[in-house]
């Protein structure tokens, strides 16, 4: 099997499916869609074909093709739709960021940075595939990941390097580098939990003692700590959902779901009463029009923006999504909703559902508990994070400042999501190769 | 674990389904509510922030255009280089206060939002798309400027109209206002400027030329004269009324006197030349009668909405109720010294009504007769145009940015005000007034000019009055090209002013600007 991976060839039964050829076809379609969107956004804004459409085309197609070659070389059996869905989301997000930057021609500062981050993310995607030829290697370093995850989570609290931006203390500034360690902490913690629960899960499954509640208690404490100390409601919800889902997955005890929900609700109620920022978010969710100029401003503007889009949108470059604060990051879903309409937001939902479906299919087909749990954890990260921010923007749940995976502007978020993607691709490859090795009856 | 993974998958699908339902609610079901939500300024911003076409005068002067705004979410604002000169007609587009004037009436064309304009833009998808329309006015900047300068800082209005088409050439009211601050980006400043203009007792925001009514005074005698010719078989030369200095109305009422207590009379031409109150009071009350006066006034546009392409035009008024008729037609009055309530017999061939005394007053433009300056210009214009009164308008066409014509305003008949015969006779009489009568200050060498003055007395203690002139001008041997009306409003505390002395020179300046421009 090792030799097979290195050669990049496929077992005969998979070769007939030609997953990489399917992937290449999908990537080509998506490249056409993204380049067309880029051109339309420029036409909509300045009535001219963007001057840099050539270089942009080459850059995006180059990156897309590079990803494809890397997968073909290092994980040739992987599911062919995972990477194209991520590239579609990334590409649409990039077009919107460039368009929000004011002029697509110049690309704007954020768009330029985002294209660099895309390249870095894809670089780390490839590096992850190379460095981790077998997913179960990760289990060996479980406590490194566990402690590293907690350390990353707490890093913004360290005086001197942690900084508070827009009310949340989730940034770290070391020298010229600013990043959100929480984006990487969630991956480390997903790995840690997968490996820890492989053993612990079996125990919890059979008997329930007080000390078995210690891990979930610790997880709860960490989540509430993030919410209270860093004022990051979104990451808090995401981490807690991750913990609870993985505990349930490993143990099969449905009570963890109920217990988790109850504990999180209790923590939320206490936080609501003790901390004004939680109360503000809840108030703004329940009735944003009570304070339309201040706490309700963002969500109201997002609602107007999406309503303006209607079914088919104003057209790329022809709306005013920049009226919503943080349109490039937290509210990029609203920006897509305004200019691409319900058709566009539904397409984004579908892309995430396809990605989630692929992730869960990997988990179902995987044979070893660690791989199963890791696939579930990573899929849960993407699914829940996307749901939290989209649900917040459409006022289904309280709004939290969290990025939309692959779509929002942001270096840490983009890079960490490409690492998640690489791990899923690795798991997918292993599972599909393993499947073909099973003796046929 | 497979069962749990499937269940997790079901939960995710459920979560995203709920998300999709909520998206449908925001973007489809309730979208219209949100789009029109109070506090959603996107529609206004869209209207205000986008580039709009120019508004230009007939002689090519740009009076409104969009200028790009740096460093603002609003990309364009409107600029009005001629300031207050066209403010009452062009209006302004203000973020806080909305749009007024042509900026409002022609909003869709200026913004390029009409279907035909949008369709034009579809044809050239990949080139610079500018669907904005240019609105071309019938008004001329040089004539408007002449009106502005001639009126000076006296409250009043000037209207000049092409009687052949109804196209308004000049329409000026003093005081006016500068629309530029109202189109500014500083909302607080805009609101303060607007409130200050609203609170100004002189009402500079009000386009009095077409939105305010005044006593027309003797200029209304043109309508009475038309009624006399059309309904009472009176010609310019017959009958001849005796010289008088007082008219005692039937059946009873306050006496009417001539201006300055003078004595006058004679035929219709002479009565018009000297603007003889006593004669016209008798013509209206005893020769034409209520039906003819009301019908003729309404033919001339009184008591009706003026079909002008500007908002909120005022309706001019001529009273319609003169009570029941009192006696059959006869040509006798009660003899000198006769007693009691015996039959009241008119001099003319029309029966006396209960309120014939009021009819005597309305026939000379008093009592409740009220007219806009635009209305009186249209009266002069109808006479100059053979009795045909055209729909007044200030816009001649809408062009695309590259000069194609989207819309042309075709001249359109509003109503037949009077017969061609009456129009001919009145033209002749008005030319006589300008040559030999009260409107001598109107005459311009080389042009055929006719006029009629008016001095609408508002009070005698202290004496004050509106000074009016209406008239027309044309080249010899051709149809009149211009009809004008000028009112210089009564100045509080100023001494009595007459139309001939005060208003006629202003109208003459406008006529000279038009024909020399």
CB-CB neighbors (< 8 A) of B34 in chain A:
303-304, 307-308
**pLDDT tens for chain A, residues 1 to 441:** 444 444 456 666 666 668 899 999 999 999 999 989 988 888 877 766 676 777 877 888 899 999 999 999 999 999 999 999 999 999 999 999 888 875 554 445 788 888 889 999 999 999 999 999 999 999 999 889 988 988 888 888 888 888 887 777 888 888 777 888 989 999 999 999 898 888 776 766 666 666 766 766 776 677 778 767 888 888 888 988 998 899 889 888 888 788 888 887 888 788 788 777 778 888 889 999 888 878 888 899 999 999 999 998 888 888 888 888 888 888 999 999 999 999 999 999 999 999 999 999 999 999 899 999 999 999 999 999 999 999 999 999 998 888 999 999 988 999 999 999 999 999 999 988 887 775 544
Q: What is the dihedral of CA B263, B269, B275, B281, to 10 degrees?
A: 80
Q: Is the link from the previous residue into B493 a cis peptide, with omega within 30 of 0?
A: no
- H or E stretch covering A419: helix A411-437
What is the β-pairing status of strands B55-56 and B134-137? parallel
User: What is the pTM assigned to this prediction?
Assistant: 0.65
pLDDT at A107: 46
How many beta carbons lie within 10 A of that of residue B232, not counting itself? 18
Residue in chain A nearest B13 by alpha carbon: A353
Least Cα distance to B489 among B377, B373, B375, B364 occurs for B373
Q: What is the dihedral of CA A82, A87, A88, A91, to 10 degrees?
A: 170
With beta carbons less than 8 A apart as the criterion, state whether B390 and B381 touch: yes
Q: Is the link from the previous residue into B175 a cis peptide, with omega within 30 of 0?
A: yes
As separate numbers, helices (DSSP H) first and strands (DSSP E) second, chain A gives 17, 3
B39 contact A CB<8A: yes
What is the arithmetic mean of pLDDT over B83-95?
92
B315 contact A CB<8A: no
DSSP structural state of residue A358: H
CB-CB neighbors (< 8 A) of A248 in chain B:
4
Which residues in chain A (344-363) have CB-CB distances under 8 A to chain B?
345-346, 349, 352-353, 356-357, 360, 363
CB-CB neighbors (< 8 A) of A342 in chain B:
23-24, 27-28
Which range has the top average pLDDT, A30-44, A64-78, B44-58, B450-464? A64-78
Measured CA to CA, the distance from residue B128 to residue B121 in angstroms comes to 9
CB-CB neighbors (< 8 A) of A249 in chain B:
1, 4-5, 8
Residue in B26, B39, B129 nearest the CB of A307: B26
Residues paired with A338 in a beta bridge: none
pLDDT at B178: 95
pLDDT at B465: 84
Active site residue B218: yes
SS3 of B395, please? strand
Dihedral sign computed on CA atoms, order A364, A369, A371, A373? positive
With beta carbons less than 8 A apart as the criterion, state whether A362 and A380 touch: no
Dihedral sign computed on CA atoms, order A277, A282, A284, A289? negative
Crossing angle of helices B2-24 and A369-393, rounded to 10°: 10
DSSP B188-214: HHHHHHHHHHHH-TT-TTS-HHHH--B
As separate numbers, helices (DSSP H) first and strands (DSSP E) second, chain B gives 18, 19
pLDDT at B252: 74
With beta carbons less than 8 A apart as the criterion, state whether B258 and B221 touch: no
Measured CA to CA, the distance from residue B468 to residue B215 in angstroms comes to 10
Q: What is the dihedral of CA B267, B271, B274, B277, to 10 degrees?
A: 150
CB spacing of A245 vs B8 below 8 angstroms:
yes
Token pair, residue A29, equals 């379609």
A43 contact B CB<8A: yes
With beta carbons less than 8 A apart as the criterion, state whether A77 and A352 touch: no
With beta carbons less than 8 A apart as the criterion, state whether A58 and A52 touch: no
Measured CA to CA, the distance from residue A26 to residue A79 in angstroms comes to 12
A427 contact B CB<8A: no
- How many residues are there in chain B? 517
Q: What are residue A436's phi and psi, to 5 degrees?
A: -75, -15
Measured CA to CA, the distance from residue B450 to residue B467 in angstroms comes to 17
Residue in chain B nearest A338 by alpha carbon: B27
pLDDT grade for B77, boundaries at 50, 70 and 90:
confident
Measured CA to CA, the distance from residue A234 to residue A392 in angstroms comes to 10
In sequence order, the 6+-apart residues with CB closer than 8 A to the CB of A123 are none
Residue in chain A nearest B30 by alpha carbon: A307
Instruction: Render pLDDT for B189-213 as a digit per residue (tens, 0 to 9).
Output: 888 999 999 999 999 999 999 999 9
SS3 of B398, please? strand
Distance to chain B for A68, nearest Cα, Å: 27
B43 contact A CB<8A: no
Least confident of B319-323, B398-402, B501-505: B398-402
pLDDT grade for B69, boundaries at 50, 70 and 90:
confident
In sequence order, the 6+-apart residues with CB closer than 8 A to the CB of B146 are B170, B509, B510, B512, B513, B514
Residue in chain B nearest A313 by alpha carbon: B27
pLDDT at B511: 96
Token pair, residue B41, equals 């300024």
Token pair, residue A241, equals 């959902």
SS3 of B481, please? strand
In sequence order, the 6+-apart residues with CB closer than 8 A to the CB of A436 are A11, A13, A14, A77
Residue carrying structure tokens 């380049």: A35
Counting one residue from A and one from B, how many pairs have CB atoms under 8 Å apart? 112
Measured CA to CA, the distance from residue A233 to residue A244 in angstroms comes to 16
- How many residues are there in chain A? 441
**Which is catalytic among the residues B66, B94, B157, B218?**
B218
B16 contact A CB<8A: yes
Measured CA to CA, the distance from residue A240 to residue A217 in angstroms comes to 11
Q: What are residue B71's phi and psi, to 5 degrees?
A: 55, 50
Measured CA to CA, the distance from residue B514 to residue B144 in angstroms comes to 9
Query: A109-138: string of b/e by CB count within 10 Å (b at 16+)?
Result: ebbebbbebbeebbebbbebbeebeebeeb
B232: alpha, beta or left, given left = phi > 0 and alpha = psi -120 to 50? alpha
With beta carbons less than 8 A apart as the criterion, state whether A135 and A426 touch: yes
pLDDT grade for B124, boundaries at 50, 70 and 90:
low
Between residues B329 and A205, the one the model is more confident about: A205
Which residues in chain A (180-239) have CB-CB distances under 8 A to chain B?
none
pLDDT grade for B72, boundaries at 50, 70 and 90:
low
- H or E stretch covering A129: helix A108-131
pLDDT at B118: 62
DSSP B62-102: EEEEEEE-SSSS--EEEE-TTGGGGHHHH--EETTTEE-HH
Mutate to test the interface with A, among B2, B26, B50 (most CBs of A within 10 A): B26
Distance to chain A for B103, nearest Cα, Å: 23
Which residues in chain A (72-131) have CB-CB distances under 8 A to chain B?
none
DSSP B122-173: HHTTTS----PPEEEES--HHHHHHHHHHHTTSSEEEEEE-TTT-BEEEEEE
A394 contact B CB<8A: yes
In sequence order, the 6+-apart residues with CB closer than 8 A to the CB of A103 are A42, A45, A46
With beta carbons less than 8 A apart as the criterion, state whether B486 and B126 touch: no
Residue carrying structure tokens 């001529």: B318
With beta carbons less than 8 A apart as the criterion, state whether A369 and A198 touch: yes
């Amino acid at each position: 099997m090792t030799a097979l991976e290195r050669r990049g060839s496929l077992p005969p039964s998979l070769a007939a499916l030609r997953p990489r050829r399917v992937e290449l076809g999908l990537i080509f379609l998506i490249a056409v869609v993204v380049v067309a969107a880029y051109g339309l956004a420029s036409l909509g804004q300045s009535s001219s074909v963007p001057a840099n459409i050539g270089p942009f085309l080459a850059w995006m197609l180059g990156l897309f093709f590079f990803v494809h070659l890397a997968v073909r070389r290092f994980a040739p059996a992987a599911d062919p739709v995972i990477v194209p869905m991520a590239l579609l989301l990334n590409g649409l997000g990039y077009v919107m960021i460039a368009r929000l930057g004011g002029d697509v021609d110049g690309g704007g500062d954020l768009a330029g940075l985002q294209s660099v981050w895309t390249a870095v993310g894809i670089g780390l995607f490839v590096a992850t595939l190379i460095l981790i030829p077998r997913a179960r290697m990760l289990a060996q370093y479980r406590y490194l990941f566990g402690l590293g995850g907690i350390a990353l989570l707490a890093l913004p609290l360290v005086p001197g390097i942690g900084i508070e931006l827009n009310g949340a203390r989730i940034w770290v500034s070391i020298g010229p580098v600013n990043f959100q360690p929480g984006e990487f902490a969630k991956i480390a913690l997903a790995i840690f939990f997968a490996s820890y629960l492989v053993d612990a899960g079996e125990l919890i499954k059979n008997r329930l003692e007080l000390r078995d509640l210690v891990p979930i208690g610790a997880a709860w404490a960490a989540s509430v700590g993030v919410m209270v100390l860093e004022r990051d409601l979104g990451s808090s919800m995401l981490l807690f959902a991750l913990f609870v889902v993985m505990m349930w997955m490993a143990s099969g005890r449905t009570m963890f779901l109920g217990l988790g929900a109850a504990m999180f609700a209790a923590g939320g109620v206490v936080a609501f009463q003790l901390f004004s920022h939680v109360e503000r978010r809840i108030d703004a969710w329940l009735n944003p029009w009570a304070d339309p100029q201040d706490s309700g401003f963002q969500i109201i503007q997002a609602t107007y923006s999406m309503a303006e889009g209607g079914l088919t949108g104003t057209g790329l470059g022809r709306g005013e999504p920049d009226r919503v604060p943080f349109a490039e990051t937290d509210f990029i879903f609203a920006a897509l909703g305004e200019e691409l309409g319900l058709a566009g937001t539904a397409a984004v939902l579908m892309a995430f559902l396809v990605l989630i479906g692929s992730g869960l299919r990997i988990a179902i087909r995987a044979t070893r508990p660690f791989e199963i749990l890791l696939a579930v954890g990573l899929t849960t990260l993407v699914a829940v994070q996307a749901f939290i921010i989209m649900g917040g923007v459409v006022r289904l749940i309280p709004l939290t400042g969290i990025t939309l995976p692959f779509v929002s502007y942001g270096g840490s978020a983009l890079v960490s999501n490409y690492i998640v993607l690489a791990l899923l691709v690795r798991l997918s490859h292993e599972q599909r190769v393993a499947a073909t090795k099973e003796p046929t009856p | 674990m497979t069962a749990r993974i499937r269940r997790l998958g079901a939960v995710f699908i459920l979560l995203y389904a709920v998300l999709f339902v909520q998206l449908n609610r925001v973007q489809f079901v309730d979208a219209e509510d949100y789009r029109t939500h109070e506090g959603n300024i996107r529609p206004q911003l869209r209207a205000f922030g986008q580039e709009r076409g120019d508004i230009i005068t007939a002689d090519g002067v740009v009076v409104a255009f969009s200028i790009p705004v740096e460093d603002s979410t609003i990309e364009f604002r409107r600029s009005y280089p001629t300031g207050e000169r066209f403010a009452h007609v062009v209006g302004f587009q203000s973020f806080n206060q909305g749009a007024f004037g042509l900026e409002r009436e022609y909003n869709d064309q200026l913004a390029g939002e009409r279907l035909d304009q949008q369709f034009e833009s579809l044809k050239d998808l990949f080139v610079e798309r500018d669907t904005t329309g240019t609105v071309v006015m019938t008004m001329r900047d040089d004539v408007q400027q002449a009106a502005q300068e001639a009126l000076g800082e006296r409250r009043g209005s000037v209207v000049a109209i092409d009687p052949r088409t109804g196209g308004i050439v000049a329409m000026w009211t003093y005081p006016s206002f500068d629309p530029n601050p109202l189109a500014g980006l500083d909302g607080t400043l805009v609101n303060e400027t607007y409130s200050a203009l609203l609170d100004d007792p002189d009402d500079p925001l009000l386009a009095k030329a077409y939105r305010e009514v005044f006593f027309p005074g003797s200029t209304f005698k043109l309508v009475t004269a038309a009624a006399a010719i059309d309904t009472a078989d009176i010609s310019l030369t017959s009958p001849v009324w005796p010289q008088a200095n007082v008219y005692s109305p039937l059946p009873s009422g306050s006496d009417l006197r001539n201006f300055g207590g003078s004595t006058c009379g004679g035929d219709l031409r002479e009565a018009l030349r000297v603007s003889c109150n006593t004669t016209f009071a008798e013509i209206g009350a005893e020769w034409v009668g209520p039906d003819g006066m009301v019908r003729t006034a309404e033919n001339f546009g009184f008591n009706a909405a003026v079909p002008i392409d500007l908002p909120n035009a005022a309706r001019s008024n001529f009273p319609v109720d003169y009570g029941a008729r009192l006696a059959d037609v006869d040509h006798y009055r009660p003899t000198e010294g006769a007693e009691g309530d015996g039959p009241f017999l008119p001099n003319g061939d029309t029966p006396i009504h209960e309120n014939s005394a009021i009819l005597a007053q309305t026939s000379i433009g008093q009592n409740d007769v009220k007219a806009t300056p635009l209305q009186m210009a249209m009266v002069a214009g109808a006479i100059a145009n053979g009795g045909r009164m055209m729909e007044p308008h200030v816009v001649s066409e809408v062009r695309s940015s590259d000069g194609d014509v989207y819309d042309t305003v075709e001249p359109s008949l509003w109503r037949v005000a009077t017969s061609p015969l009456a129009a001919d006779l009145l033209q002749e009489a008005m030319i006589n007034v300008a040559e030999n009568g009260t409107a001598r200050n109107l005459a311009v060498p080389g042009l055929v000019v006719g006029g009629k003055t008016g001095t609408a007395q508002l009070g005698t203690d202290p004496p004050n009055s509106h000074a009016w002139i209406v008239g027309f001008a044309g080249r010899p041997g051709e149809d009149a090209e211009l009809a004008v009306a000028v009112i210089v409003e009564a100045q509080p505390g100023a001494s009595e002013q007459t139309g001939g002395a005060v208003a006629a020179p202003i109208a003459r300046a406008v006529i000279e600007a038009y024909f020399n421009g």
